[in-house]
C-alpha cells in the first residue's frame, strides 16, 4: 500500500509508463539495467566475443511461433553417406531424432554415388517415423569433369601431400567437395525442396530443440544457419581468393551492400592465414552442419560463381572444400543479417563442439570448443564473425 497514494495522483499516461517500467524490470525478457540489454545468463567457460563476462545466452533465443504459423516447411534432412558408414549414420540419426526430429518428422534424404544396400535402408528407416528417401547421384554429377587434365591433377596431388593436406590423394574427397559445392541442389529428388539440414555420419547433437528450425528460417527470412566457424588450411586453397577477386571484377553486380567482406579478408587475428591464402582470412562456416535455403545456391550470383570456380579446376588441382566456397559466396552475395548462428543447437563433429549454456543440453561441456590438443582452440573463427557481423 506504500505506493497507493502516488499512483492515484498520477494521470493515465503516467500509470501506463509506470506499468511499462515494472514490466521491463521484472519480465524475464526485460532489461538488466542497461538500455536495450536482455537479461542473460553468462557463461564464463566460453568467450568467443573477447568479453570477460563470457557469451550471452537467453531463453528467448529459442523460436516459438504461434499455432497459426505451425504449418510444415518444404524441407528435408540431407545426408551424403556410403553404405559402409551405416553405423556412424545411425548414431547421428539417433541423436537428431531424439533431440529434435521426433517432434516434427521431417523426411530424410540420403545420397550415395552407388545404390544403397537393403541393410542401410532397413536400419535407417527403423530409426524414424518420417519418410526416408534413398537417392543415387548421377554419374555426370560425381565423376571428374572432362576439362580436368589428369596429368596436372596427379602432379597437384603430390604437391598437396607434400604440404600435408588431408585427403589430398582421395579422388572421392575432391568429388564430394565439388558435389556439395554446386551440384547437390540440382538433383531431381530436391527439385521441389527449398530448405535442408545437412547431417553427416558420426556427428552428435546434445540439446533438446523444441521449435521447428525450418519454420524459424522461413519466418525470419534467414538463408543460412551454422554452429561452428573455423579457419581453413591455407595450403588447400591458395588460388581460391585470387579466382574470387577475378570473378568479382567481372560481376560486381553480385556483391551485396551488406556483405561480410571484413570477415572474409581479416588479417589481424591470423595474419599468416591471410598471407598464405592470398588475401582470404580462411574463415568459413563448417558445412558438415548447415541449415540453408537452396534458393541461394540456385541464384544467378551463386551459379555464376560456382561455374567460374568449376571451370578453373580448383576442386581437383587444389582441395577447395564446399565449406570455404559456400562461405565466401554467402559472405559476398548475401545480406549478412540473413546468416544465423544457432547458438542453442549443441553439436559436435570431431574434434570441435558448439556446446550452449542451457539446461536443455546434456553430454557436452558448456563452452568447450574442442576436446583435442589445446592449439586447436586457435582454429575458432567465431570471434571474428561476432566482431564484424554480430551474434544475431
Instruction: Give catalytic residues, as residue numbers.
Output: 290
CA 157 to chain centre: 28
Helix runs in 104-170, H state only: 118-125, 139-142, 150-162
What long-range pairs does 184-190 form, CB within 8 A, spacing at least 24?
A: 184/78, 184/80, 184/111, 185/294, 185/297, 185/298, 186/141, 187/111, 187/135, 187/137, 187/138, 187/141, 189/109, 189/133, 189/135, 190/76, 190/78, 190/109, 190/294
Cell of 295: 534458393
Cβ–Cβ under 8 Å, residues 370 and 377 = yes
Q: Name the nearest CA neighbour of 230 among 187, 190, 283, 272.
A: 283
* Residue 231 near residue 381 (C-beta atoms within 8 A): yes
Which residue from 137, 70, 143, 144 is spatially nearest to 109, judged by alpha carbons? 137
Amino acid at each position: 500500500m506504500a505506493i497507493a497514494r502516488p499512483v492515484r495522483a498520477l494521470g493515465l499516461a503516467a500509470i501506463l509508463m509506470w506499468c511499462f517500467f515494472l514490466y521491463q524490470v521484472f519480465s524475464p525478457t526485460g532489461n538488466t539495467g542497461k538500455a536495450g540489454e536482455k537479461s542473460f545468463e553468462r557463461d564464463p567457460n566460453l568467450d568467443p566475443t573477447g568479453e570477460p563476462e563470457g557469451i550471452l545466452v537467453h531463453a528467448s533465443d529459442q523460436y516459438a511461433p504461434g499455432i497459426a504459423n505451425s504449418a510444415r516447411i518444404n524441407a528435408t534432412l540431407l545426408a551424403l553417406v556410403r553404405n559402409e558408414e551405416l553405423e556412424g549414420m545411425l548414431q547421428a540419426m539417433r541423436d537428431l531424432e531424439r533431440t529434435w526430429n521426433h517432434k516434427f518428422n521431417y523426411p530424410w534424404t540420403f545420397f550415395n554415388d552407388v545404390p544403397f544396400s537393403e541393410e542401410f535402408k532397413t536400419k535407417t528407416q527403423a530409426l524414424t517415423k518420417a519418410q526416408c528417401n534413398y537417392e543415387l547421384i548421377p554419374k555426370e554429377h560425381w565423376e571428374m569433369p572432362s576439362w580436368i587434365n589428369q596429368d596436372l591433377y596427379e602432379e597437384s596431388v603430390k604437391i598437396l601431400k607434400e604440404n600435408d593436406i588431408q585427403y589430398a590423394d582421395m579422388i572421392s574427397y575432391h568429388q564430394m567437395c565439388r558435389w556439395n559445392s554446386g551440384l547437390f541442389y540440382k538433383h531431381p529428388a530436391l527439385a521441389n525442396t527449398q530448405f535442408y539440414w545437412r547431417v553427416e555420419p558420426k556427428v552428435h547433437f546434445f540439446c533438446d530443440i523444441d521449435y521447428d528450425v525450418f519454420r524459424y528460417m522461413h519466418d525470419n527470412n534467414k538463408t543460412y544457419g551454422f554452429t561452428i566457424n573455423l579457419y581453413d588450411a591455407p595450403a588447400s586453397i591458395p588460388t581460391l581468393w585470387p579466382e574470387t577477386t577475378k570473378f568479382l571484377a567481372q560481376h560486381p553486380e553480385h556483391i551485396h551492400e551488406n556483405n561480410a567482406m571484413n570477415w572474409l579478408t581479416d588479417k589481424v587475428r591470423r595474419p599468416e592465414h591471410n598471407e598464405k591464402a592470398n588475401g582470404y582470412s580462411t574463415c568459413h562456416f563448417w558445412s558438415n552442419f548447415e541449415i540453408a535455403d537452396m534458393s541461394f545456391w540456385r541464384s544467378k550470383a551463386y551459379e555464376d560463381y560456382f561455374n567460374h570456380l568449376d571451370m578453373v579446376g580448383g576442386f581437383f588441382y587444389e582441395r577447395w572444400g564446399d565449406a570455404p566456397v559456400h562461405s565466401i559466396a554467402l559472405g559476398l552475395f548475401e545480406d549478412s543479417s540473413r546468416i544465423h548462428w544457432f547458438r542453442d543447437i549443441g553439436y559436435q563433429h570431431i574434434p570441435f563442439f558448439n556446446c550452449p549454456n542451457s539446461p536443455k543440453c546434456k553430454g557436452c561441456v558448456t563452452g568447450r570448443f574442442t576436446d583435442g590438443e589445446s592449439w586447436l582452440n586457435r582454429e575458432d573463427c567465431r570471434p571474428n564473425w561476432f566482431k564484424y557481423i554480430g551474434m544475431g
